[in-house]
Amino acid sequence: MTAKRSKVLAEAARSFNGAAGTAPATRKLSYAQAIAQGLHQAMELSQDVILLGQLVDYTPAVFGTTTGLIERFGPDRVLDFPVAESVMTAAGMGAALTGMRPVLIHHRLDFMLYSMDNVVNWLSLWRFKSNDESRVPVTIRAIVGKGWGQGPQHSKSLHAWFAHLPGLRVAVPATAFDAKGLLLESIFGEDPTIIIEHRSLFTLQDDVPEAPYRVRFGKAVVRRRGGDLTLAAIGFMVPLALKVAARLAERSVEVEVIDLRTVTPLDTATVVQSVSRTGRLAVADPAWRSVGVAAEVIASVSEQCGRQLKADPVRICYPDSHTPMSSALENVYYPDEEALAAKLLSLVR
C-alpha cells in the first residue's frame, strides 16, 4: 500500500520535472495547510518519516499544521511527546542515526532552547566529526509568535543564532509555497535543518502545487522587480515589504523585493546582483538589530560591491530589546508599514 502510494507520488513529482511550460496543478492553501500537506506527503513517501512534538495528535493540530496525520499514520509515527525538549531532540537525532527522517515540532521556538546541547554539541557537528561517515537528517520546525501579547518568551526569532553554527541549514519561509517546498526539501535532505515559521503568516494563502516538490536552500527569490532600491526581507517581513513596495510605487519609487528564504546557506549573490543595479540596500530582518542576519547581508554585499552603493545601507529590525507584552509597546517594537516606508524613503532622498 505505502510503497504503491509512494510510487504514485514520486511519479507525480517526476511528471512535473518533465512538463516544462505547463503550469502545475495547484490549490489555494494557507501557509498552515501547506505545511500539513507537506507532512502528509512526506509520510506517504517514506516510512522513515516520523513526527515528534507535544500535542501533535490533538485537533488543534499545532495551529492546523498536523491535521489528519494521526488518523492516517497512527501513534507509532505521530508521537505526542512529553514536555522534554532536550530528550526529544536527542531522540530524534538517535532515530535519524538509524535511518529515520524525524520531524520535530515546537509550538514555541522558546521551548526548543531546552534542546540546545543536542542542537549545538551533537546535531550540528555530527557529520563533521564523523568525517562524513554518519549523517543525521533531522528537521526541526520552530514556530515564532508575534503580537497579541506574546511577550518575551513566545516571540524570539533566533534564526541568526542557528545560522551562526556550521552544519545546520536554516530556513525562514515567507509563503505557503515555500513552507511546503522547504519542509519537503529538509525532510528528504541529508543535513539537520531548522525551519523558523512565523505564526503571523499561517493564514496567508498561496497557490500551492499538489505534488511533492522541493524548494532548494540557498536560493533567494525576487518577489517584486524595481530599479531604485533593493530590499532584502526575511520571513514575515516579506509580505510587509511587498505592501510597502506597492505603496512606494504610487510615489514612483520602485523597490526590488528579495525574499531570502533561507539564511543558511544565504544567497548573497542574488542581493549583490540587484544592488549592482539599484545601488541602494535595505534589509528587513524580523529579529534584534545587532549581530544578526541583516548585518551579515550588508557585510557580504559591502565586500562584494560596496563601491557601487550610492547611499548608506539600512537595517529594519527590532530594537535590541526583549519583546513587550502591552499592545501599546508592541506597536512601536515591531516595524510597521510606516516605519519601513520611512526607512526606504531615506535611502532614495
Partner 1 sequence: MGRLSHQSILAAGRYKSLSLSGISPEVVKSLHRFMLRLRRCEEALAQEYHPADEMRCPVHFCIGQEAVPAALSVLLARDDYLFSHHRSHGYYLAKEAPMTAMFAELYGKATGANGGRAGSQDISYASVNFHSGAILAGATAIAVGAALSIKSRGESRVAVAGFGESATDEGIFWEAVSYAAFRKLPVVFVCENNNYSVFSPQLKRQAGDNISERVATFGMKSMPLFGNDVVLVYNALKSAIEDARAGRGPCLVEAYTYRWSGHYGPASDDLVGYRSEDEVKAWKENCPIGLLDEAMIAGGLLSEAGRAALLKEIDAEIAEAFRFAKSSPFPKAGDWEAMNYASSSPVADALLADIDMEAFDAHQAMVQAKGY
Q: Which of residues 176-235 bind partner 1 (CB under 8 A)?
A: 177, 184-185, 188-191, 199-207, 209, 211-216, 219, 221-224
Q: Which of 295, 211, 285, 202 is nearest to 18 (CA)?
A: 211
User: Nearer to partner 1 by C-beta: 212 or 313?
Assistant: 212
Q: Are strands 26-30 and 205-209 parallel, antiparallel or unpaired?
A: antiparallel
The nearest distance, CB 154 to partner 1, in angstroms, is 9
| Residue 164: active-site member | no
Q: Which entry of 154, 164, 198, 322 is annotated as an active-site residue? A: 154
User: Nearer to partner 1 by C-beta: 193 or 313?
Assistant: 193
Answer yes or no whether residue 24 interacts with partner 1 by CB under 8 A: yes
SS3 category, 30: strand
Answer yes or no whether residue 82 interacts with partner 1 by CB under 8 A: yes
Q: Which of 160, 170, 164, 220 is nearest to 196 (CA)?
A: 170
Answer yes or no whether residue 299 interacts with partner 1 by CB under 8 A: no
The nearest distance, CB 97 to partner 1, in angstroms, is 6
One symbol per residue from 60 to 79: x for binding partner 1 (CB under 8 A), - otherwise; what is it? ----------------xx--
Answer yes or no whether residue 273 interacts with partner 1 by CB under 8 A: no
Single out the residue of 40, 61, 80, 147 in contact with partner 1 (rule: CB under 8 A). 147
Spatial contact of 114 and 85, defined as CB atoms under 8 Å apart: yes
Count of positions (residues) in the chain: 349
Q: Name the one residue in this structure whose C-alpha cell is 489555494.
A: 28
Amino acid at 250: E
The nearest distance, CB 114 to partner 1, in angstroms, is 9
Q: How far is CA 198 from the centre of its chain?
A: 8
User: Nearer to partner 1 by C-beta: 79 or 297?
Assistant: 79
The nearest distance, CB 89 to partner 1, in angstroms, is 8
User: Nearer to partner 1 by C-beta: 84 or 332?
Assistant: 84
Q: Which of 142, 154, 83, 88 is nearest to 115 (CA)?
A: 88
Spatial contact of 102 and 182, defined as CB atoms under 8 Å apart: no
Helix (H) or strand (E) holding 101: strand 101-106
Residues that contact partner 1, how many (by CB under 8 A): 88
Answer yes or no whether residue 295 interacts with partner 1 by CB under 8 A: no
CA Rg value for the chain: 20
How far is 232 from 245, CA to CA, in rounded Å?
Answer: 12
Single out the residue of 173, 226, 239, 286 in contact with partner 1 (rule: CB under 8 A). 239
- The residues that are catalytic are 154
